[in-house]
Protein backbone atom coordinates (compact mmCIF):
# COMPACT_ATOMS: atom_id res chain seq x y z
CA UNK A 1 0.00 0.00 0.00
CA UNK A 2 1.32 3.43 -0.97
CA UNK A 3 -0.04 6.65 0.51
CA UNK A 4 0.20 10.35 -0.24
CA UNK A 5 0.14 12.79 2.66
CA UNK A 6 -0.60 16.49 2.36
CA UNK A 7 0.74 18.82 5.06
CA UNK A 8 -1.63 19.33 7.97
CA UNK A 9 -0.81 19.76 11.67
CA UNK A 10 -1.60 16.88 14.00
CA UNK A 11 -3.72 17.88 17.00
CA UNK A 12 -5.65 16.07 19.69
CA UNK A 13 -5.31 13.61 22.56
CA UNK A 14 -4.11 10.03 22.29
CA UNK A 15 -2.81 7.09 24.27
CA UNK A 16 0.09 5.24 22.63
CA UNK A 17 -0.48 1.53 22.04
CA UNK A 18 0.62 -1.09 24.57
CA UNK A 19 4.34 -1.72 24.75
CA UNK A 20 5.33 -4.47 22.35
CA UNK A 21 8.50 -5.14 24.36
CA UNK A 22 6.57 -5.68 27.59
CA UNK A 23 3.82 -7.68 25.89
CA UNK A 24 6.31 -10.17 24.41
CA UNK A 25 7.78 -10.74 27.84
CA UNK A 26 4.52 -11.10 29.76
CA UNK A 27 3.06 -13.49 27.18
CA UNK A 28 6.13 -15.72 27.31
CA UNK A 29 6.21 -15.70 31.12
CA UNK A 30 2.51 -16.63 31.17
CA UNK A 31 2.99 -19.42 28.62
CA UNK A 32 5.84 -20.99 30.61
CA UNK A 33 3.79 -21.30 33.79
CA UNK A 34 1.18 -23.70 35.04
CA UNK A 35 -2.50 -22.84 35.29
CA UNK A 36 -4.02 -19.81 33.59
CA UNK A 37 -2.62 -16.29 33.51
CA UNK A 38 -4.32 -13.08 32.40
CA UNK A 39 -2.52 -10.41 30.39
CA UNK A 40 -4.45 -7.22 29.68
CA UNK A 41 -3.66 -4.49 27.20
CA UNK A 42 -2.59 -6.61 24.23
CA UNK A 43 -2.53 -5.11 20.73
CA UNK A 44 -2.44 -7.72 17.98
CA UNK A 45 0.50 -6.46 15.95
CA UNK A 46 2.27 -8.90 13.65
CA UNK A 47 5.15 -9.26 16.13
CA UNK A 48 2.85 -10.14 19.02
CA UNK A 49 0.98 -12.62 16.83
CA UNK A 50 4.34 -14.24 16.09
CA UNK A 51 5.09 -14.73 19.79
CA UNK A 52 1.63 -16.17 20.44
CA UNK A 53 2.04 -18.52 17.47
CA UNK A 54 5.40 -19.74 18.76
CA UNK A 55 4.17 -20.30 22.30
CA UNK A 56 1.30 -22.34 20.85
CA UNK A 57 3.93 -24.46 19.09
CA UNK A 58 5.31 -25.28 22.57
CA UNK A 59 1.86 -26.29 23.78
CA UNK A 60 0.50 -23.12 25.37
CA UNK A 61 -3.11 -22.13 24.70
CA UNK A 62 -4.73 -18.73 24.74
CA UNK A 63 -8.10 -17.10 24.26
CA UNK A 64 -9.30 -13.52 24.17
CA UNK A 65 -11.80 -13.09 26.99
CA UNK A 66 -12.51 -9.48 26.01
CA UNK A 67 -10.87 -7.06 23.60
CA UNK A 68 -7.18 -6.77 24.45
CA UNK A 69 -7.33 -9.27 27.33
CA UNK A 70 -5.80 -12.72 26.89
CA UNK A 71 -6.06 -15.73 29.13
CA UNK A 72 -3.16 -18.10 28.63
CA UNK A 73 -2.89 -21.71 29.70
CA UNK A 74 0.79 -22.39 30.36
CA UNK A 75 2.92 -25.44 29.58
CA UNK A 76 4.35 -25.81 33.11
CA UNK A 77 7.87 -26.75 32.08
CA UNK A 78 9.39 -29.20 29.63
CA UNK A 79 7.64 -32.18 28.07
CA UNK A 80 8.44 -34.79 25.41
CA UNK A 81 7.98 -33.82 21.77
CA UNK A 82 7.78 -36.50 19.07
CA UNK A 83 9.75 -34.18 16.77
CA UNK A 84 11.31 -30.76 17.00
CA UNK A 85 8.61 -28.08 17.10
CA UNK A 86 8.54 -25.51 14.30
CA UNK A 87 8.45 -21.79 15.06
CA UNK A 88 7.31 -19.23 12.51
CA UNK A 89 8.72 -16.01 13.97
CA UNK A 90 7.44 -13.71 11.22
CA UNK A 91 9.68 -10.64 11.25
CA UNK A 92 10.02 -10.48 15.04
CA UNK A 93 13.61 -10.44 16.24
CA UNK A 94 12.45 -10.55 19.85
CA UNK A 95 10.40 -13.68 19.22
CA UNK A 96 13.28 -15.48 17.52
CA UNK A 97 15.99 -14.64 20.02
CA UNK A 98 13.79 -15.14 23.08
CA UNK A 99 12.53 -18.52 21.86
CA UNK A 100 15.80 -20.18 20.82
CA UNK A 101 17.00 -21.03 24.37
CA UNK A 102 13.45 -21.55 25.60
CA UNK A 103 12.91 -24.19 22.90
CA UNK A 104 16.11 -25.95 23.97
CA UNK A 105 15.00 -25.97 27.62
CA UNK A 106 11.44 -27.08 26.92
CA UNK A 107 11.62 -29.27 23.82
CA UNK A 108 15.26 -30.06 23.13
CA UNK A 109 15.40 -27.53 20.32
CA UNK A 110 13.34 -26.35 17.40
CA UNK A 111 13.16 -25.33 13.76
CA UNK A 112 12.93 -21.56 13.29
CA UNK A 113 11.77 -19.67 10.22
CA UNK A 114 10.94 -16.04 9.51
CA UNK A 115 10.23 -13.46 6.88
CA UNK A 116 11.90 -10.36 5.51
CA UNK A 117 15.43 -9.93 6.84
CA UNK A 118 14.77 -11.76 10.11
CA UNK A 119 16.84 -14.88 9.44
CA UNK A 120 19.77 -12.71 8.33
CA UNK A 121 20.07 -11.19 11.79
CA UNK A 122 23.22 -12.37 13.56
CA UNK A 123 22.93 -15.12 16.18
CA UNK A 124 26.68 -15.43 16.82
CA UNK A 125 26.43 -15.00 20.63
CA UNK A 126 24.15 -18.04 20.82
CA UNK A 127 26.25 -20.02 18.35
CA UNK A 128 29.38 -19.45 20.43
CA UNK A 129 27.56 -20.76 23.49
CA UNK A 130 26.22 -23.74 21.56
CA UNK A 131 29.73 -24.67 20.40
CA UNK A 132 30.84 -24.58 24.03
CA UNK A 133 27.84 -26.52 25.36
CA UNK A 134 27.66 -29.21 22.68
CA UNK A 135 24.38 -28.02 21.17
CA UNK A 136 24.06 -28.56 17.43
CA UNK A 137 22.75 -25.95 15.02
CA UNK A 138 22.44 -25.49 11.30
CA UNK A 139 21.29 -22.47 9.35
CA UNK A 140 20.62 -22.64 5.63
CA UNK A 141 18.03 -21.33 3.18
CA UNK A 142 16.45 -19.15 5.85
CA UNK A 143 15.87 -22.02 8.31
CA UNK A 144 17.64 -22.32 11.67
CA UNK A 145 17.57 -25.70 13.41
CA UNK A 146 18.90 -26.10 16.95
CA UNK A 147 19.01 -29.41 18.81
CA UNK A 148 20.38 -30.41 22.18
CA UNK A 149 20.06 -30.20 25.93
CA UNK A 150 20.41 -26.91 27.76
CA UNK A 151 22.19 -27.69 31.03
CA UNK A 152 22.76 -25.62 34.18
CA UNK A 153 26.06 -23.81 34.24
CA UNK A 154 27.80 -20.60 33.28
CA UNK A 155 26.75 -18.72 30.15
CA UNK A 156 29.04 -15.93 29.00
CA UNK A 157 27.83 -13.22 26.64
CA UNK A 158 29.35 -9.92 25.51
CA UNK A 159 27.38 -7.05 26.99
CA UNK A 160 27.55 -4.92 23.86
CA UNK A 161 25.36 -7.26 21.80
CA UNK A 162 21.59 -7.14 21.73
CA UNK A 163 19.96 -7.55 25.12
CA UNK A 164 17.64 -10.07 23.46
CA UNK A 165 20.27 -12.80 23.98
CA UNK A 166 20.33 -12.11 27.71
CA UNK A 167 16.53 -12.11 27.85
CA UNK A 168 16.27 -15.47 26.08
CA UNK A 169 18.58 -17.06 28.65
CA UNK A 170 16.85 -15.34 31.57
CA UNK A 171 13.59 -16.97 30.48
CA UNK A 172 15.10 -20.39 29.79
CA UNK A 173 17.52 -21.01 32.64
CA UNK A 174 14.93 -21.10 35.48
CA UNK A 175 13.45 -24.14 33.70
CA UNK A 176 16.62 -26.18 34.26
CA UNK A 177 17.33 -28.49 37.18
CA UNK A 178 20.20 -26.52 38.71
CA UNK A 179 21.61 -23.06 39.28
CA UNK A 180 23.10 -21.10 36.39
CA UNK A 181 24.86 -17.80 35.87
CA UNK A 182 24.80 -15.40 32.95
CA UNK A 183 28.06 -13.44 32.84
CA UNK A 184 28.43 -10.26 30.82
CA UNK A 185 32.01 -10.19 29.51
CA UNK A 186 31.84 -6.48 28.66
CA UNK A 187 29.85 -3.53 29.99
CA UNK A 188 26.15 -4.31 29.70
CA UNK A 189 24.30 -2.11 27.17
CA UNK A 190 20.51 -1.86 26.70
CA UNK A 191 20.10 -2.67 30.39
CA UNK A 192 16.60 -1.15 30.44
CA UNK A 193 15.37 -3.94 28.18
CA UNK A 194 16.76 -6.46 30.65
CA UNK A 195 14.97 -4.61 33.45
CA UNK A 196 11.71 -5.17 31.57
CA UNK A 197 12.53 -8.88 31.41
CA UNK A 198 13.22 -9.04 35.14
CA UNK A 199 9.90 -7.32 35.85
CA UNK A 200 8.05 -9.88 33.72
CA UNK A 201 9.82 -12.74 35.48
CA UNK A 202 8.86 -11.31 38.86
CA UNK A 203 5.22 -11.23 37.79
CA UNK A 204 5.50 -15.01 37.32
CA UNK A 205 7.28 -15.57 40.64
CA UNK A 206 10.72 -16.03 39.04
CA UNK A 207 13.72 -13.92 40.02
CA UNK A 208 17.32 -13.54 38.95
CA UNK A 209 19.92 -12.16 41.35
CA UNK A 210 22.38 -9.61 40.03
CA UNK A 211 26.03 -10.61 40.22
CA UNK A 212 28.42 -8.21 42.01
CA UNK A 213 29.43 -5.22 39.93
CA UNK A 214 26.57 -5.65 37.49
CA UNK A 215 28.46 -8.46 35.71
CA UNK A 216 25.39 -10.57 35.07
CA UNK A 217 22.81 -12.70 36.88
CA UNK A 218 22.49 -15.82 39.00
CA UNK A 219 19.43 -17.87 38.07
CA UNK A 220 17.98 -20.62 40.29
CA UNK A 221 15.54 -23.33 39.18
CA UNK A 222 12.02 -22.03 39.74
CA UNK A 223 8.53 -22.79 38.45
CA UNK A 224 6.65 -20.05 36.61
CA UNK A 225 3.42 -19.21 38.43
CA UNK A 226 0.12 -17.88 37.02
CA UNK A 227 -0.37 -14.13 37.28
CA UNK A 228 -2.55 -11.21 36.26
CA UNK A 229 -0.81 -8.25 34.65
CA UNK A 230 -1.40 -5.31 32.34
CA UNK A 231 0.84 -4.02 29.57
CA UNK A 232 1.97 -0.39 29.82
CA UNK A 233 1.70 2.11 27.00
CA UNK A 234 4.69 2.05 24.65
CA UNK A 235 7.30 4.80 25.00
CA UNK A 236 9.01 3.81 21.73
CA UNK A 237 5.78 4.47 19.81
CA UNK A 238 5.23 7.61 21.85
CA UNK A 239 8.50 8.83 20.33
CA UNK A 240 6.77 9.40 16.99
CA UNK A 241 4.09 11.57 18.59
CA UNK A 242 6.77 13.52 20.50
CA UNK A 243 8.32 14.16 17.10
CA UNK A 244 4.95 15.37 15.80
CA UNK A 245 4.84 17.98 18.57
CA UNK A 246 8.44 18.95 17.86
CA UNK A 247 7.43 19.63 14.26
CA UNK A 248 4.51 21.87 15.24
CA UNK A 249 1.75 19.48 16.27
CA UNK A 250 -0.41 19.98 19.34
CA UNK A 251 -0.82 16.51 20.80
CA UNK A 252 -1.51 15.51 24.38
CA UNK A 253 -0.21 12.04 25.24
CA UNK A 254 -1.99 10.07 27.94
CA UNK A 255 -1.43 6.76 29.70
CA UNK A 256 2.37 6.76 29.77
CA UNK A 257 4.15 5.64 32.93
CA UNK A 258 6.92 8.19 33.65
CA UNK A 259 8.58 5.67 35.99
CA UNK A 260 8.56 2.84 33.48
CA UNK A 261 11.51 0.48 33.04
CA UNK A 262 11.27 1.19 29.32
CA UNK A 263 14.48 2.92 28.29
CA UNK A 264 12.63 4.89 25.64
CA UNK A 265 11.26 7.15 28.36
CA UNK A 266 14.41 9.05 27.37
CA UNK A 267 12.42 10.66 24.53
CA UNK A 268 10.90 13.11 27.03
CA UNK A 269 14.33 14.57 27.89
CA UNK A 270 15.75 14.25 24.39
CA UNK A 271 12.85 16.33 23.07
CA UNK A 272 14.11 19.28 25.08
CA UNK A 273 17.75 18.56 24.30
CA UNK A 274 17.04 18.84 20.58
CA UNK A 275 14.80 21.87 21.12
CA UNK A 276 17.86 23.87 22.22
CA UNK A 277 19.84 25.34 19.30
CA UNK A 278 23.38 24.24 18.56
CA UNK A 279 25.14 20.95 17.99
CA UNK A 280 23.91 17.91 19.92
CA UNK A 281 25.14 14.37 20.41
CA UNK A 282 22.93 11.41 21.40
CA UNK A 283 24.16 7.92 22.32
CA UNK A 284 21.71 5.43 20.75
CA UNK A 285 23.16 2.26 22.31
CA UNK A 286 20.35 1.89 24.85
CA UNK A 287 17.52 3.43 22.81
CA UNK A 288 17.90 2.14 19.23
CA UNK A 289 14.17 2.24 18.41
CA UNK A 290 14.13 6.02 18.88
CA UNK A 291 16.54 6.73 16.04
CA UNK A 292 13.91 7.36 13.30
CA UNK A 293 11.75 9.84 15.28
CA UNK A 294 14.84 11.57 16.70
CA UNK A 295 16.17 11.92 13.15
CA UNK A 296 12.98 13.63 12.04
CA UNK A 297 13.25 16.04 14.97
CA UNK A 298 16.92 16.68 14.20
CA UNK A 299 16.10 17.42 10.56
CA UNK A 300 14.18 20.60 11.41
CA UNK A 301 16.19 22.09 14.26
CA UNK A 302 18.81 24.81 14.50
CA UNK A 303 22.06 22.88 14.60
CA UNK A 304 23.69 19.58 13.76
CA UNK A 305 22.83 16.37 15.61
CA UNK A 306 25.01 13.27 15.71
CA UNK A 307 23.33 9.99 16.69
CA UNK A 308 26.07 7.53 17.66
CA UNK A 309 26.66 3.90 18.73
CA UNK A 310 23.95 2.67 16.39
CA UNK A 311 25.66 -0.05 14.33
CA UNK A 312 23.14 -2.72 15.37
CA UNK A 313 20.43 -0.78 13.53
CA UNK A 314 21.89 -2.01 10.27
CA UNK A 315 20.32 -5.41 11.00
CA UNK A 316 16.75 -4.38 11.72
CA UNK A 317 13.82 -4.75 9.31
CA UNK A 318 15.95 -2.58 7.05
CA UNK A 319 19.47 -1.23 7.32
CA UNK A 320 17.97 1.46 9.48
CA UNK A 321 20.96 3.78 9.40
CA UNK A 322 20.83 3.79 5.61
CA UNK A 323 17.04 3.96 5.31
CA UNK A 324 16.68 6.69 7.95
CA UNK A 325 19.28 8.82 6.18
CA UNK A 326 17.53 8.17 2.85
CA UNK A 327 14.16 9.09 4.37
CA UNK A 328 15.45 12.42 5.73
CA UNK A 329 17.17 13.27 2.46
CA UNK A 330 14.16 12.29 0.37
CA UNK A 331 12.08 14.82 2.32
CA UNK A 332 14.54 17.62 1.63
CA UNK A 333 16.62 17.26 4.80
CA UNK A 334 20.35 16.71 5.14
CA UNK A 335 21.58 13.44 6.67
CA UNK A 336 24.83 11.53 6.36
CA UNK A 337 25.43 7.99 7.55
CA UNK A 338 28.63 6.59 9.01
CA UNK A 339 29.50 3.05 10.06
CA UNK A 340 27.65 3.40 13.37
CA UNK A 341 26.18 6.90 13.35
CA UNK A 342 24.01 9.44 11.61
CA UNK A 343 24.85 13.10 11.26
CA UNK A 344 21.86 15.32 10.57
CA UNK A 345 22.15 19.00 9.69
CA UNK A 346 19.01 20.83 10.69
CA UNK A 347 17.04 22.96 8.25
CA UNK A 348 14.13 25.35 8.82
CA UNK A 349 11.69 23.19 6.82
CA UNK A 350 11.33 19.97 4.88
CA UNK A 351 9.97 20.04 1.36
CA UNK A 352 8.31 16.62 1.08
CA UNK A 353 8.97 14.04 -1.61
CA UNK A 354 8.84 10.26 -2.08
CA UNK A 355 10.04 7.93 0.69
CA UNK A 356 10.68 4.23 0.26
CA UNK A 357 9.40 2.67 3.48
CA UNK A 358 11.82 -0.23 2.89
CA UNK A 359 9.42 -2.64 4.57
CA UNK A 360 10.30 -1.03 7.91
CA UNK A 361 7.50 0.06 10.22
CA UNK A 362 9.59 2.69 11.99
CA UNK A 363 10.75 4.31 8.75
CA UNK A 364 7.15 4.55 7.54
CA UNK A 365 5.91 6.10 10.80
CA UNK A 366 8.78 8.58 10.97
CA UNK A 367 8.12 9.65 7.38
CA UNK A 368 4.42 10.09 8.10
CA UNK A 369 5.14 12.33 11.09
CA UNK A 370 7.54 14.44 9.03
CA UNK A 371 5.04 14.66 6.17
CA UNK A 372 2.54 16.49 8.36
CA UNK A 373 4.79 19.57 8.46
CA UNK A 374 6.46 19.47 5.03
CA UNK A 375 5.86 22.35 2.63
CA UNK A 376 4.63 19.96 -0.07
CA UNK A 377 3.05 16.50 -0.34
CA UNK A 378 4.85 13.29 0.61
CA UNK A 379 4.41 9.84 -0.92
CA UNK A 380 5.32 6.84 1.24
CA UNK A 381 5.83 3.47 -0.47
CA UNK A 382 4.94 0.34 1.49
CA UNK A 383 2.89 2.11 4.13
CA UNK A 384 1.35 -1.17 5.31
CA UNK A 385 4.59 -1.96 7.19
CA UNK A 386 3.15 -0.25 10.29
CA UNK A 387 1.14 -3.45 10.95
CA UNK A 388 4.29 -5.03 12.35
CA UNK A 389 4.09 -2.98 15.55
CA UNK A 390 1.28 -0.39 15.35
CA UNK A 391 -1.65 -1.72 13.29
CA UNK A 392 -3.88 1.25 14.22
CA UNK A 393 -1.31 3.88 13.26
CA UNK A 394 -3.02 5.16 10.12
CA UNK A 395 -6.44 5.34 11.77
CA UNK A 396 -4.93 7.28 14.66
CA UNK A 397 -3.01 9.51 12.27
CA UNK A 398 -6.18 10.44 10.38
CA UNK A 399 -8.14 10.96 13.60
CA UNK A 400 -5.52 13.49 14.70
CA UNK A 401 -5.89 15.47 11.49
CA UNK A 402 -3.45 13.74 9.16
CA UNK A 403 -4.42 14.25 5.51
CA UNK A 404 -3.54 10.86 4.07
CA UNK A 405 -4.79 9.21 0.88
CA UNK A 406 -4.24 5.64 -0.29
CA UNK A 407 -2.91 5.52 -3.85
Contacts of 146 (CB under 8 A, 6+ apart): 100, 103, 104, 109, 110, 112, 130, 135, 136, 137
Please say if 289 is a catalytic residue: yes
Instruction: Give 93-150 as a DSSP string.
Output: HHHHHHHHHHHHHHHSEEEEE-STTGGGS--HHHHHHHHHHT-EEEEETTEEEEES--
Contacts of 18 (CB under 8 A, 6+ apart): 41, 42, 43, 68, 231, 232, 233, 234
Find out whether 399 and 9 touch, Cβ atoms under 8 Å.
no
Closest by Cα among 291, 282, 340, 348 to 311: 340
Contacts of 171 (CB under 8 A, 6+ apart): 28, 29, 32, 98, 101, 102, 197, 201
According to DSSP, residue 233 is labeled B
Find out whether 111 and 143 touch, Cβ atoms under 8 Å.
yes
Strand 180-184 with 154-157, pairing: parallel
Selected catalytic residue, list 289, 319, 340, 360: 289
Contacts of 132 (CB under 8 A, 6+ apart): none
Question: Which residues are catalytic, by number?
Answer: 289
Amino acid sequence: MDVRIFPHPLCGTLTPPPSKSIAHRLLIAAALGGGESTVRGIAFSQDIEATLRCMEALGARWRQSEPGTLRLGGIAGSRPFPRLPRFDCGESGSTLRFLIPIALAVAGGGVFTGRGRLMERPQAPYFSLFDEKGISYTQEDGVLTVRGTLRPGEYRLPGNVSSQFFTGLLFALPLLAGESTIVSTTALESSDYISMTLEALEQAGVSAAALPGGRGFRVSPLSYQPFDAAVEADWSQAGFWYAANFLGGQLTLQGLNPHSAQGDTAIADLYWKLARPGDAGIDMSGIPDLLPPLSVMAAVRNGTARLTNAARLRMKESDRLQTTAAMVNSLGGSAEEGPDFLTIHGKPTLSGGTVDGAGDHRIVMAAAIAAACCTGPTTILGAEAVSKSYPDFWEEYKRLGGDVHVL
